[in-house]
Amino acid sequence: MAHLILASSSPRRKELLQQLGLDFEIYSPDIDETVLLGETVEQYVERLARSKAQVVLNLFPEATVIAADTSLSFAGKIIGKPESKQHAFEIWMQLSGQWHDVFSGICVATATQILSQVVQTQVELQQLSHTKMEKYWATGEPIGKAGAYAIQGIAAQYIPQIRGSYSNVVGLPLYEIAQLLESVKV
């Protein structure tokens, strides 16, 4: 396979991709992540994944680029990263005792081909008391995480079940990435 680049600075995506036994480099592109008017979460994550891949491909045209973007959705709204403790609590109050969706847009791109898709996983978050929210916030883990939680960390104790890909919730659906890599003609 050609020179492989992961278009992400996420340590979680790096760790996940390493599970596939691939040799790759990392280059994190800077793109505008503003949600467009009327854009669904599916359209949003796929657009961002394709944009990240294209930026890196423009810099390294001989490479095969892997890019992804992950967001949560609840009641048709995109749930991003918490901007403050208060915002995290607002997110948890919405998600508490409910199912929500985690969507990842993924893209594998070469100079001749760009393949992308969206992967969806449903996640149940237990009913969180104010005490649990305080305790979890104090760990620092929710900062910088979509939905204000990390399933691969302390928050695992608050998630009774998921339907779909665990690696998708962490940030990179491995099965689907492997399938796209097999499909791309290098």
- Which residues, at least 6 apart from 151, have a Cβ–Cβ distance to it below 8 Å? 123, 159, 162, 166, 169, 170
Residue 64 burial (CB count, 10 A): 22
Which residue, 123, 21, 136, is CA-closest to 70? 123
Going by C-alpha positions, the residue among 68, 74, 67 that lies closest to residue 95 is: 74
Is 101 an annotated catalytic residue? no
Question: Considering 23, 30, 32, 69, which one is annotated as catalytic?
Answer: 69
- Return the active site residues: 69
